[in-house]
């Protein structure tokens, strides 16, 4: 009797602990974001978005930073999307049985766990120095593309393996070749899932700071980049630069830039979640 | 037709091989640069000296201060993330009504998508001042605040991996426990958590690996003073934030300062590599258990 | 030479000497087939011949190897991990396991309908057109004509005439299965393999499929796997009873059902096990 009562009390206590911990975490996040908005909103203006950086906090803007981010985003997409999806297709559809596939799988799991700053060192040596790209957008984008490749590969594989095997059988039984089945059936059916994974991976790339600092993206770039071989900065680096300054005005600039960065990140995640839900509903055949 | 198929297969295989080249590239580059570093600095000094001052005139190359800084922040982070992450995982998986779960889970996921540089801002601008208000001796840069914030950042990581582990335990075990008159609490902690223990351990190891490799939070809020200490109140430096600090400056290629970041990098890489492989090994073993 | 399978007597004579397999008049001819999944022997030395434009049923308890055996005829087992086999299978006297043979070509001749209806997540029209499109056929008039004939053949056309652009997934289960049959027919196969095509359907839909199968016999050689004894009895000309990977008895359906030679067949058919 008594022991049952204690058990029930513990049960109740944990339920309260559980909900308060979970809600607590969400609240902390809300407080953080609220603080940022409170601090940064006053600086956020059209001026701020289209101004070049300056020694004076009030005249500084994030124009070069978000143009740089946009460049990096586009190039990273162009590089990582075909590579990642191609590798995902290969692992899921072609190399399933052999030892090589097993090795590739472990290798990809490992790469996913390599700290991003290490990718920066790879990019610094391989792209900036050996391939002589300099501290360019291209070098930075290649580095980020390699960084998010494992995420794209894994989500491509998941999306492909969610396609029911009956579809594959039906296509094969009609005399379709392997690639015809992949191209006409598997990819269209899994595209929503693949796209979701790619967008999530890219949203991570947008927020990356350390690897780009290591490959030599600059904290101060006087002009917006014109092409892939130009020097550049990105939003997170601009934020890092401003946070590190002692003057309060620059901290406010950082907060304002964070609002923009969070907006981009949340927007991309929102799109990804929307696509995933739509795709999952469609997949119920 | 057949030739086309073969060509396509080769192209796809080439895409997959890029991942191998990446790994090879990382290992080779780190190893070569670190090798020439160790040509100039004795490996004994590297692992035993407690001074790390490659950028000063009085040069000393002991990695221990960076290791202690890395270990300290990671330890603080994991102390926050592990219990909280597991409580959340158990709550969401065993207690929460489906509706509550459906709302809370995506909200928690937001924690994981916020860029790390933003967390650095939180640590420096919010958490440190709050902590200073009741820890008088706390310095403006310290290990405690970025450690805690890093912990908050990896909570969703721990909770979602642990939740996966819990939900892969067959429902029959839960039913059996309920059938014997257990409460949810007893079922959760006497049956489900032990049954999912290997998955939860995996989540803990991966979380440690994440914390070790985390860069921006410490680069912003922990200061940049390599110090062989486990005192969370004073400024320190981690391996990652050292690499960032050097990269921000203008260090000529081939100089010994340039090579230090690769020596530091390979140390970091080895630690995370070992942790990741341990977790992978546990994971593959444990998957076989329930399938 | 003797494709007139109408008289039960003829088929009986035809199928009697199946084990020594010397006749050349079979549409499909399996010779000394063993199938292994890794170390497990799924099919044990089966030989049998299938006559053109007949309906042959494979029956037997679950796991007896009847589906595995069926899938040998269009090489669908090739994709299964650990699959290996001995013996060969002749289609019109040509070995379909010949390394030079293109498996895609084989499957255009040997169509297949699966246990569960598996339409592609595309429109009704595109489902049927798919087999033609992957052959590189671009002539839209030709495709349309073929789609409509196939849908008519599969007795589906009248029901969906105005909705060819609707998603195939919106059809009922029975309609989906007839769509899958139409899809298989569109590439003009000469053999149709059916792997328990009605097991996921309600009795009325099953009845429609059975009628359709009967109709198709005029033009196609049909091999059907079923666990439904009555169905085998109703639709097939010849029946093969498989048990634990071996062919126990093969012959005229009527004879198998009324007067089987083997006790085991008798026991299975009367429902004593299975």
Nearest 10 degrees: CA dihedral of B63, B67, B69, B71?
180
Nearest neighbour of A175 by CB, restricted to C79, C114, C187: C187
Nearest to B156 by CA among B88, B254, B55, B224: B88
* Record: contact A87-B15, CB cut-off 8 A: yes
- Does the pLDDT value for residue B189 go beyond 60? yes
* Record: contact A169-C131, CB cut-off 8 A: no
* Record: contact A258-B121, CB cut-off 8 A: yes
Neighbouring C-alpha atoms within 13 Å toward the C-beta of B150: 31
Supply the pLDDT for residue A11.
87
Nearest 10 degrees: CA dihedral of B24, B27, B31, B32?
30
Nearest neighbour of B15 by CB, restricted to A28, A90, A254: A90
**Of residues A92 and A217, more confidently modeled:** A92
Supply the pLDDT for residue B92.
94
Mean pLDDT of C26-39: 92
Domain chopping of chain B, boundaries: 2-40, 64-290
Supply the pLDDT for residue B1.
65
- Does the pLDDT value for residue B290 go beyond 80? no
Name which of B207-211, C23-27, C88-92, C229-233 the model is least confident about.
Answer: C23-27
* Record: contact A175-C116, CB cut-off 8 A: no
Q: Which two tokens stand for residue A259?
A: 């609002």
Count of Cβ atoms closer than 10 Å to residue C207 Cβ: 15
Query: Is the distance from CB of C250 to CB of C241 less than 8 angstroms?
Result: yes
* Record: contact A188-C81, CB cut-off 8 A: no
CATH number of the domain residue A107 falls in: 1.10.3720.10
CA distances from B231 to B35, B51, B268 (A): 32, 16, 21
- Give pLDDT tens digits for C196-241: 999 888 999 999 999 999 999 999 999 999 988 889 999 999 999 9
- Does the pLDDT value for residue B142 go beyond 60? yes
Supply the pLDDT for residue B75.
97
- Give pLDDT tens digits for C61-73: 988 899 999 999 9
The pLDDT confidence band at residue A7, using thresholds 50, 70 and 90, is confident
Cβ neighbours for A5, distance < 8 A, ≥ 6 positions apart: none
Residues of B in contact with A209 (CB under 8 A): 115-117, 215-216
The pLDDT confidence band at residue A276, using thresholds 50, 70 and 90, is confident
Nearest neighbour of B26 by CB, restricted to A114, A178, A243: A114
Supply the pLDDT for residue C2.
39
CA distances from B287 to B141, B154, B173, B196, B204 (A): 43, 23, 17, 11, 17
Mean predicted lDDT score pLDDT of chain B: 91
- Give pLDDT tens digits for B155-183: 999 999 999 999 988 888 888 888 888 88
Supply the pLDDT for residue B15.
95
Report the share of chain B in percent with pLDDT over 70: 98
- Does the pLDDT value for residue C249 go beyond 80? yes
Chain C positions contacting chain B at CB under 8 Å are 102, 104
* Record: contact A170-C120, CB cut-off 8 A: yes
Supply the pLDDT for residue C24.
55
Tell whether A17 and A118 lie within a shared domain.
no
- Does the pLDDT value for residue A220 go beyond 90? no
Tell whether A194 and A219 lie within a shared domain.
yes
Handedness of CA C176, C177, C182, C183 (dihedral sign): positive
Chain B contacts in chain A segment 58-77 (CB below 8 A): none
- Does the pLDDT value for residue A283 go beyond 80? no
The rounded distance, in Å, linking the Cα atoms of A242 and A236 is: 10
Tell whether A136 and A258 lie within a shared domain.
yes
Q: How far is C115 from chain B (nearest CA, A)?
A: 25
- Closest CA in chain B for residue A268: B113
Tell whether A8 and A100 lie within a shared domain.
no
Domains of chain C with bracketed CATH: 8-269 (3.40.50.300)
ipTM confidence score = 0.93
- Does the pLDDT value for residue B190 go beyond 90? no
Q: How far is A130 from chain B (nearest CA, A)?
A: 11
* Record: contact B110-A29, CB cut-off 8 A: yes
The pLDDT confidence band at residue B54, using thresholds 50, 70 and 90, is confident
Q: How far is B115 from chain A (nearest CA, A)?
A: 5
The rounded distance, in Å, linking the Cα atoms of C107 and B247 is: 60
* A86 Cα distance to chain centroid: 19
Tell whether A16 and A128 lie within a shared domain.
no
* Record: contact B125-A35, CB cut-off 8 A: yes
Q: How far is A180 from chain C (nearest CA, A)?
A: 7
Burial of B61 (0-12, 13-18, 19+ CB in 10 A): buried
Q: How far is A117 from chain C (nearest CA, A)?
A: 41
Q: Which of C115, C121, C150 to mutate to test the interface with A (most CBs of A within 10 A)?
A: C121
Query: Is the distance from CB of B66 to CB of B242 less than 8 angstroms?
Result: yes
* Record: contact A166-C81, CB cut-off 8 A: no
Mean predicted lDDT score pLDDT of chain A: 91
- Does the pLDDT value for residue C19 go beyond 50? no
First to last CA, chain B: 39
List chains adjacent to chain A, taking adjacency as at least 3 C-beta pairs closer than 8 Å.
B, C
Q: How far is B51 from chain A (nearest CA, A)?
A: 23
Mean predicted lDDT score pLDDT of chain C: 87
Supply the pLDDT for residue A91.
92
Tell whether A106 and A211 lie within a shared domain.
yes
- Closest CA in chain C for residue B2: C102
Residues of A in contact with B84 (CB under 8 A): 21, 25
pTM of the model: 0.87
Count of Cβ atoms closer than 10 Å to residue C2 Cβ: 12
Chain B contacts in chain A segment 122-141 (CB below 8 A): 122, 124-126, 129
CA distances from C217 to C114, C153, C183, C229, C237 (A): 18, 12, 17, 19, 10
The pLDDT confidence band at residue C17, using thresholds 50, 70 and 90, is very low
- Give pLDDT tens digits for B220-253: 999 889 999 999 999 999 999 999 999 988 778 8
- Does the pLDDT value for residue B141 go beyond 90? yes
Backbone φ, ψ for residue C101 (5° rounding): -75, 140
**What kind of fold does domain B64-290 have according to CATH?**
MetI-like fold (1.10.3720)
Tell whether A14 and A118 lie within a shared domain.
no
What's the domain range around A31? 2-43
Tell whether A39 and A147 lie within a shared domain.
no
Q: Which of A101, A172, A174 to mutate to test the interface with C (most CBs of C within 10 A)?
A: A174
Residues of C in contact with A187 (CB under 8 A): none
Residues of A in contact with C136 (CB under 8 A): none
Tell whether A39 and A63 lie within a shared domain.
no
**C124 close contact with A: CB closer than 8 A:** no
Q: Which two tokens stand for residue B39?
A: 């040509």
- Give pLDDT tens digits for C110-156: 999 999 999 998 899 999 999 999 998 999 999 999 999 999 999 99
**A18 close contact with B: CB closer than 8 A:** yes
**Of residues C17 and C100, more confidently modeled:** C100
- Does the pLDDT value for residue C46 go beyond 90? yes
Task: Determine which helix (DSSP H) or strand (DSSP E) holds C50, and give its type and residue range.
Answer: strand C40-50
- Does the pLDDT value for residue B266 go beyond 60? yes
- Does the pLDDT value for residue C13 go beyond 70? no
Supply the pLDDT for residue C271.
79
List chains adjacent to chain B, taking adjacency as at least 3 C-beta pairs closer than 8 Å.
A, C
- Closest CA in chain B for residue A107: B20
Name which of A249-253, B27-31, B171-175, C119-123 the model is least confident about.
Answer: B171-175
Residues of B in contact with A19 (CB under 8 A): 91, 95-96, 100
List chains adjacent to chain C, taking adjacency as at least 3 C-beta pairs closer than 8 Å.
A, B
Residues of B in contact with C102 (CB under 8 A): 1-2
Supply the pLDDT for residue B144.
96
Residues of B in contact with A95 (CB under 8 A): 13, 16
How does DSSP classify residue C53? Answer: T
Q: Which two tokens stand for residue B66?
A: 């960076």
Mean pLDDT of C150-170: 92
* Record: contact A240-B8, CB cut-off 8 A: no
How many independent structural domains does chain A possess?
2
The pLDDT confidence band at residue C95, using thresholds 50, 70 and 90, is very high
Count of Cβ atoms closer than 10 Å to residue C271 Cβ: 8
- Give pLDDT tens digits for A31-70: 999 999 999 998 888 889 888 888 887 888 899 999 999 9
């Amino acid at each position: 009797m008594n022991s049952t009562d204690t058990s029930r009390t513990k049960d109740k206590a944990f339920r309260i602990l559980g909900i308060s911990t979970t809600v607590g975490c969400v609240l902390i996040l809300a407080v953080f974001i609220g603080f940022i908005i409170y601090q940064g909103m006053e600086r956020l203006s059209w001026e701020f978005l289209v101004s070049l950086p300056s020694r004076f906090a009030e005249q500084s803007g994030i124009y070069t930073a978000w143009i740089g981010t946009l460049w990096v985003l586009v190039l990273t997409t162009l590089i990582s999307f075909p590579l990642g999806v191609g590798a995902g297709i290969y692992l899921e559809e072609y190399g399933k049985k052999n030892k090589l596939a097993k090795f590739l799988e472990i290798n990809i799991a490992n790469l996913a766990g390599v700290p991003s700053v290490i990718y920066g060192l790879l990019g610094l040596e391989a792209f900036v120095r050996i391939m002589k790209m300099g501290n360019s957008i291209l070098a930075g984008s290649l580095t980020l593309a390699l960084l998010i490749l494992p995420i794209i590969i894994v989500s491509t594989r998941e999306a492909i393996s969610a396609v029911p095997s009956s579809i594959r059988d039906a296509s094969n039984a009609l005399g379709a070749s392997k690639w015809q089945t992949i191209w006409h059936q598997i990819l269209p059916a899994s595209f929503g899932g693949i796209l979701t994974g790619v967008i999530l991976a890219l949203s991570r790339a947008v927020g990356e700071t350390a690897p780009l600092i290591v490959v030599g993206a600059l904290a101060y770039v006087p002009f917006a980049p014109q092409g892939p071989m130009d020097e550049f900065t990105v939003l997170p680096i601009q934020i890092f630069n401003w946070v590190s300054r002692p003057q309060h005005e620059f901290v406010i600039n950082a907060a304002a830039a964070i609002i923009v960065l969070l907006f981009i990140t949340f927007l991309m995640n929102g799109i990804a979640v929307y696509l995933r839900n739509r795709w999952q509903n469609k997949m119920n055949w | 037709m057949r030739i086309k198929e073969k060509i396509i297969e080769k192209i796809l295989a080439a895409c997959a091989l890029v991942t191998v080249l990446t790994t090879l590239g990382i290992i080779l580059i780190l190893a070569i640069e670190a090798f020439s570093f160790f040509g100039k600095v004795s490996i004994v000094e590297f692992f035993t000296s407690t001074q790390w001052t490659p950028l000063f005139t009085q040069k000393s190359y002991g990695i221990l201060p960076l290791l202690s800084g890395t270990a300290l922040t990671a330890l603080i982070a994991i102390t926050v993330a592990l219990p909280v992450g597991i409580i959340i995982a158990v709550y969401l998986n065993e207690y929460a009504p489906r509706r509550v779960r459906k709302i809370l889970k995506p909200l928690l996921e937001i924690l994981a998508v916020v860029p790390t540089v933003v967390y650095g801002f939180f640590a420096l601008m919010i958490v440190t001042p709050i902590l200073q208000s009741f820890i008088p001796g706390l310095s403006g840069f310290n290990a405690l605040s970025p450690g805690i914030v890093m912990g908050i950042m990896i909570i969703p990581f721990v909770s979602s991996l642990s939740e996966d582990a819990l939900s892969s335990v067959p429902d029959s075990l839960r039913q059996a426990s309920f059938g014997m008159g257990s409460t949810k609490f007893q079922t959760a902690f006497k049956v489900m958590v032990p049954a999912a223990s290997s998955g939860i351990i995996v989540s803990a190891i991966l979380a440690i690996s994440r914390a070790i490799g985390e860069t921006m939070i410490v680069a912003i809020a922990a200061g940049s003073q390599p110090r062989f200490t486990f005192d969370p109140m004073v400024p320190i430096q981690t391996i990652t934030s050292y690499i960032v600090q050097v990269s921000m400056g203008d260090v000529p290629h081939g100089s010994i300062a340039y090579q230090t970041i690769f020596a530091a990098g390979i140390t970091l890489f080895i630690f995370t590599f070992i942790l990741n492989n341990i977790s992978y090994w546990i994971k593959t073993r444990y998957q076989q258990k329930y399938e | 030479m003797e494709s007139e399978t109408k008289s039960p007597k003829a088929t009986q004579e035809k199928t009697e000497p199946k084990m020594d397999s010397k006749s050349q008049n079979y549409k499909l001819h399996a010779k000394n087939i063993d199938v292994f999944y890794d170390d497990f022997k799924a099919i044990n030395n089966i030989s049998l011949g299938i006559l053109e434009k007949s309906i042959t049923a494979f029956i037997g308890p679950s796991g007896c190897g009847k589906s595995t055996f069926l899938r040998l005829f269009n090489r669908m087992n090739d994709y299964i991990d650990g699959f290996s086999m001995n013996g060969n299978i002749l289609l019109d006297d040509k070995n379909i396991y010949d390394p030079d043979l293109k498996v895609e070509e084989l499957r255009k001749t040997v169509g297949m309908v699966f246990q569960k209806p598996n339409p592609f997540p595309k429109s009704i029209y595109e489902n049927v057109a798919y087999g033609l499109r992957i052959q590189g056929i671009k002539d839209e008039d030709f495709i349309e004509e073929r789609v409509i004939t196939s849908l008519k053949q599969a007795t589906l056309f009248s029901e969906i005439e105005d909705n060819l652009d609707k998603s195939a997934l919106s059809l009922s289960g029975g309609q989906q299965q007839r769509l899958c049959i139409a899809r298989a027919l569109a590439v003009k196969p000469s053999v149709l393999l059916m792997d328990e095509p009605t097991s996921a359907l309600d009795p009325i839909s099953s009845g429609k499929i059975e009628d359709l199968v009967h109709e198709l016999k005029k033009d196609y050689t049909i091999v059907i796997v079923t666990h439904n004894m009555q169905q085998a009895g109703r639709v097939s000309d010849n029946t093969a009873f498989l048990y634990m990977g071996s062919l126990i008895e093969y012959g005229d359906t009527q004879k198998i059902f009324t007067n089987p030679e083997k006790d085991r067949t008798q026991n299975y058919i009367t429902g004593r096990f299975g």
